[in-house]
Amino acid sequence: MDKQLLDQVTAKAQTWLSPEYDEKTREAVKAMLEAEDKTDLVESFYKDLEFGTGGLRGIMGPGSNRMNIYTVGAATQGLANYLKEAFADLPEISVVVGHDVRNNSRLFAETVANIFSANGIKVYLFDNFRPTPELSFAIRKLGCQSGVNITASHNPKEYNGYKAYWSDGAQIIAPHDVNIIDHVNRIKHVSEIKFQGDPSKIEIIGDAMDKAFLAEIKTLSLDPEVIKRHADLKIVYTPIHGTGVKLVPDSLRNYGFTNIIHVPEQDVPSGDFPTVDSPNPENASAMAMAIEKAKEVGADLVVASDPDADRIGCVIRDNNGEYQLINGNQIVMILLNYIMLRNRELGLLKGNEYVVKTIVTTETIKAIAKNQNVKMYDCYTGFKWIADVIRSNEGTMRYLGGGEESYGFLAEDFCRDKDSVSAISLMAEICAWAKDKGMDFNEMLQDIYLQNGYSHEEGISVVRTGKSGAEEIQQMMKDFRSNPPKTLGGSPVVIVKDYADLNCKDMRTGDVTKMDFPVTSNVLQFFTEDNSKVSVRPSGTEPKIKFYVEVHDTMTSKADYEACNRKAAEKIAAIKKDLGI
């Protein structure tokens, strides 16, 4: 092990033995310092947690690179200092604080509330766990300047996280993210964190905010009559032990659905997520119990939310009647297709509407928007960038919806983060709408491909943990930049987009043009002659590098669907081989 690094982490760890840290923390750090194997020591102290695409996120435990009351405290003190600087002209600054069901989430949320209140900031603290989108809604509803949600989304149970929000209800972006980090870095000692709260500055909120949020979500319904005709639609829903249990069933009932079938074991809120290996609804294993329940009752639709209820999972019957997950791209396609179509049918399209997708999300959405004569924006991965597009168009254009391939969708602008509560409610409405037309979900999906072109996508994550893993990921990105693939799946690479310098290079002519994005980002994209697309980026919240592969084909009839699926699988396998993954 590198002696210089070991000396650095040892010196840093020894500062955590001072009396300002609680006894349990001091004992744990002492044990790491005395252990023969220094791996835990290095992993816990080799860096400080930083804001990424989803804020602060890490494994819980003692250390500067871990989620604990001290790293949470430093982030909050830095945010509080920045808020007092940014809103110095306001008589009172206010924030909303929420949390999910994870272990330590309530402790961290109360720590955050205490620190804000100790700094003279008014705090609205949720009485218990709530979906992430409700926190975003509450910031806007209460006219607050900021907010914090304690959650690690769909990460494994060892993780927790800290999402910081600005006054528009969106997660923080530049320049605020950089400024907050600067203020956090100015805190040199734990004694500078004001842990002793002022109870007079903390107000508990709950049921009234739930009702207001659900009432707004109901306004998104585009066909209440079709729901009346299919109110008894069999909908299996699981929150996977998370916060969705609080609002999703209520929202479905609010829409008019009467036959919501639960998975009782997974209705139990728990940070241990006892029935799943990973509480991620994009994984078939996390949906297994819901699928079993669907088979038992003959469900029309199976839906799920992740632990903080911002992501949606969805299962439909395939051509053989078997229950199969649809991917995040298909979820976004189905929702946006329905919203645009119904808006057209209702005469609501006036020419100033728009939708948003992220750059790694399927290009088929671009075709759907073009066919509906609706403007489409591309933005970076992360809902803070979709929120940024909404912010820039506020007052001039009407937002219809936006989504990303990672199972996130936002149908409304009264909230500025992805929302499974509204997405699941609309998905159930779409299922009723399709049934009213004599179609099942699978036929409706094929219909979208028939009208807009077939596409198939696959996401591949290569996990590389710890310091050595981070260095390996960095090297992989460097190698792809210096030596981009010449062909992928047998088709020449014709366009390379590098968002690190915003250069778009035509490999046939050598011409380079600049792309119009607000900031740079560590993302590479390769486009082939046959319209395949490969995107590569390190995750901002997890120790992995992500590959997004998308291939296209033509469907002349629904009978082509299975053949297109087979060809797509072969093409993606060939592309993965070319990429060495």
As a whole number, mean pLDDT of residues 450-473 equals: 92
Among candidate residues 437, 452, 467, the one where a domain is terminated: 452
Q: Which long-range contacts does 216-221 make (Cβ < 8 Å, 24+ apart)? A: 216/137, 216/412, 216/414, 217/251, 217/254, 217/412, 217/419, 217/421, 217/422, 217/425, 218/251, 218/254, 218/255, 218/425, 220/411, 220/412, 220/422, 220/425, 220/426, 221/255, 221/425, 221/426, 221/429
Quick one: three-class SS letters along 64-89?
CCCECHHHHHHHHHHHHHHHHHHCCC
Same domain, yes or no, for 37 and 109?
Answer: no
Strand 353-358 and strand 375-379: the pairing is parallel
Among candidate residues 181, 205, 229, the one where a domain is terminated: 205
Same domain, yes or no, for 121 and 229?
Answer: no
First-to-last CA distance in the chain?
Answer: 29
User: pLDDT tens for residues 504-541?
Assistant: 999 999 999 999 999 999 999 999 999 999 999 998 76
Confidence of residue 33 (pLDDT cuts 50, 70, 90): very high
Number of domains in the chain: 4
Q: Which helix (H) or strand (E) holds 431?
A: helix 420-436
Same domain, yes or no, for 275 and 200?
Answer: no
Residue 1 has pLDDT above 70, yes or no: no
**What is the reported pLDDT for 541?**
66
Confidence of residue 56 (pLDDT cuts 50, 70, 90): confident
Same domain, yes or no, for 471 and 345?
Answer: no
**What is the reported pLDDT for 49?**
79
User: pLDDT tens for residues 400-456?
Assistant: 999 999 999 999 999 999 999 999 999 999 999 999 999 999 999 999 999 999 999
**CA dihedral defined by 186, 189, 192, 198, rounded to 10 degrees?**
120
Full domain range(s) for residue 353: 213-452
Share of the chain above pLDDT 70, in %: 99
3 state SS of 581 = coil
Same domain, yes or no, for 146 and 166?
Answer: yes
Same domain, yes or no, for 483 and 524?
Answer: yes
As a whole number, mean pLDDT of residues 273-286 equals: 95
Q: Alpha-carbon Rg of the chain, whole angstroms?
A: 24
Out of 44, 105, 146, 153, the active site residue is: 153
Residue 53 has pLDDT above 70, yes or no: no
Same domain, yes or no, for 66 and 146?
Answer: yes
Rounded to two decimals, the pTM is 0.95
Residue 52 has pLDDT above 70, yes or no: no
Same domain, yes or no, for 354 and 381?
Answer: yes
Confidence of residue 465 (pLDDT cuts 50, 70, 90): confident
Same domain, yes or no, for 366 and 423?
Answer: yes
65: CATH: 3.40.120.10
User: Is residue 105 exposed (0-12), middle (13-18) or buried (19+ Cβ within 10 Å)?
Assistant: buried
3 state SS of 369 = helix
Q: Which helix (H) or strand (E) holds 256?
A: none
Task: Tell me if 359 sits within 8 A of 525, measured CB to CB.
Answer: yes
Instruction: Please indicate whether residue 153 is annotated as part of the active site.
Output: yes
Among candidate residues 383, 417, 452, the one where a domain is terminated: 452
Residue 479 has pLDDT above 80, yes or no: yes
Same domain, yes or no, for 441 and 470?
Answer: no
Same domain, yes or no, for 420 and 568?
Answer: no
pLDDT mean across residues, the chain: 95
575: CATH: 3.30.310
What's the number of CA atoms in the CB half-sphere (13 Å) around residue 210?
19
**What is the reported pLDDT for 54?**
57
Q: Which of 14-28, 52-66, 140-154 has the lowest mean pLDDT?
A: 52-66
Confidence of residue 466 (pLDDT cuts 50, 70, 90): confident
> Across-strand partners of 165?
147, 171
Same domain, yes or no, for 349 and 425?
Answer: yes
As a whole number, mean pLDDT of residues 274-295 equals: 96
Confidence of residue 577 (pLDDT cuts 50, 70, 90): very high
